[in-house]
Amino acid sequence: MAGLASGVWLLASACIVVLVCFLVRDLARRETAEQQLRENKAKKQAMLDALPDLMFEVGINGRYYDYHSPRSDLLAAPPETFIGKTVRDILPPETANAIMAAIAQAHERGHSSGQQICLSLPQGENWFELSATRKAQLPGEDPRCIMLSRDITLRKHTEQALQASLDDKVGLLNEVHHRVKNNLQVITSLLRLEGNRSAQAETRTVLDEMQGRIRSMALLHESLYRTGTFASVELGAYLRQLCTQAFRTGARQNDGVQLVLDLAPVQVTMDQATPCGLLVNELVSNCLKHGFPNGRTGEVRVALTPVDAQWRLSVRDNGVGLPADFDTRRAASLGLQLVTDLARQLGATLVVGPGPGAAFSITFTSQISL
C-alpha cells in the first residue's frame, strides 16, 4: 500500500513538473509575442510619427473613425469634435464634396490621388493634397479607406509666385513685340512717303520692295503678341497671313492672278519663321512682278508640306517662266540674292524646279521636336 502511494506521489509530482514546464514555456512564448507586438507597435508608431501627412480612417459615407496628425494646427477641428462625425458635418460644402469624390474613387478603384483642397485655418489658408486607399474590410465592418492629407501650402505659394513672375514676363514680351511691330509700321510708312515723293520709278520700286520685307517681319511680331506664345510660331498660319497680305499689295496691277495656298501646320522657332517669311515674301513678289506681264492670267501656288522628317516650302507660278540659263548663284537682283542667303540661314539649299512657270523650293528641318 505504501508502495502504491509512493508511486502515485511520484506520478503526481512528474505531472506537476510537466505542467509547470508547459506553463513556463507558454509564458515565455507569450512574453516573446507581447515583446514582438510592443516592438512592432513602436515601429509602426515611429513610422507614423515620421510621416508629415495627416492620416484619417474614414467610411464610404465620409464618417471619421480614427486619425493621426503630426501637427494639431493642421486640423480643421479638434479631434473630439470630428471623430464619429462625417466630412459634411465638419467642412465647407465645396471642400467636403472634393473629399467625398476622392473617397468614392478610392472605394471604386482601390486608390485615389491628386485631389487638392484649401482650408481656412487659424493661421491662414492652407492647401492640402489628398490620396486615399481602400482598406481591407473586416467582417461586419462598413467599407472604409485610409486618407492621407499632405500640406502643400509652401509649394502652392511658390507656384503662385512663379506664375505671377511668368505673367509679368509674358506681359513684357507682349509689349516688346507690340512696340517692335509698331516701329516697323512707322518705318514702312516713312518708306511709303519717300516713295510717293520720288520722281524716279526705280527708286519707288526699291522702296516698295523694302516695305514688303518690313511688313513680313511686322506681321510675325504681331502674330507673336496676339497669340502670347513666344517659344514657337505656327508657320502655316503665319505664311497664310503673309501671302494674303503680299498678294493683296502686289496683285493690284493684275486681277487675273489667283493665289493658291497649301500650308500644313508646323511649329517652328522664331529664328526659322523670320527667314521663311522673308523668303516667301520675296518669291511671291517676284512671281507677281515678272511672271504675268501684259495682264496675263494664272496662279501663284505656295505650299508647305511634310517630307519624311523634314518640311518642304515651295513657291511656284504658271507664268512666263525663267530664262533657260537662269542660275540663282549668278542672279543680279537683290531679292534672289536675299532668297539664297535666307535658304542658307535655314540650313537648306534653294532649288529651282522645272517649268512651266517659275518654281522654287527649300527643304528644312524644324528645330522644335513634337
- Those residues whose C-beta lies under 8 Å from the C-beta of residue 167, and which sit 6 or more positions away, are none
- Those residues whose C-beta lies under 8 Å from the C-beta of residue 276, and which sit 6 or more positions away, are 235, 239, 268, 313, 342, 346
- The cell for 151 is 500640406
- The cell for 322 is 525663267
Dihedral sign of CA atoms 59, 65, 68, 73 in order: positive
Amino acid at position 245, single letter: Q
Q: Is the pLDDT of residue 304 over 90?
A: yes
* Contact status, residue 65 vs residue 142, Cβ threshold 8 Å: no
Q: Is the pLDDT of residue 188 over 60?
A: yes
Collapsing DSSP to helix, strand or coil, 200 comes out as coil
Question: What CATH superfamily is the domain 54-151?
Answer: PAS domain (3.30.450.20)
- Tell me what pLDDT residue 253 has: 61
Report, as an integer, the average pLDDT of 204-221. Answer: 78
- Tell me what pLDDT residue 223 has: 77
From CA 77, how far away is CA 66, in angstroms rounded? 14
Strand partners, 128: 117, 151
What percentage of the chain carries pLDDT values higher than 90?
9
Q: Is the pLDDT of residue 261 over 90?
A: yes
Instruction: Mention the CATH class of domain 236-370.
Output: alpha beta
- The cell for 343 is 535658304
* Contact status, residue 303 vs residue 236, Cβ threshold 8 Å: no
pLDDT tens, 127-175?
A: 988 888 888 877 777 888 988 888 888 899 998 888 888 888 777 777 7
- 45-59, 67-81, 231-245: the lowest-pLDDT one: 45-59
Radius of gyration of the chain (CA): 41
- Going by pLDDT thresholds of 50, 70 and 90, the confidence category of residue 220 is confident
Strand partners, 268: 233
Dihedral sign of CA atoms 27, 33, 38, 39 in order: positive
Q: Where are the alpha helices (DSSP H) in the chain?
A: 2-50, 79-82, 87-90, 93-109, 153-197, 201-227, 235-250, 270-290, 334-345
Look at residues 234, 218, 228, 231 and name the one whose alpha carbon lies nearest to residue 170.
Answer: 228
The residue assigned the cell 494664272 is 298
* Contact status, residue 347 vs residue 365, Cβ threshold 8 Å: yes
- Tell me what pLDDT residue 213 has: 78
| Own/partner long-range contacts of 201-205 (Cβ < 8 Å, ≥24 apart) | none
- Tell me what pLDDT residue 175 has: 77
From CA 73, how far away is CA 54, in angstroms rounded? 11
From CA 29, how far away is CA 231, in angstroms rounded? 71
From CA 14, how far away is CA 20, in angstroms rounded? 10
Give helix 153-197 / helix 201-227 axis angle, nearest 10°: 170
User: Distance between terminal CA atoms of the chain?
Assistant: 106
- The cell for 161 is 509666385
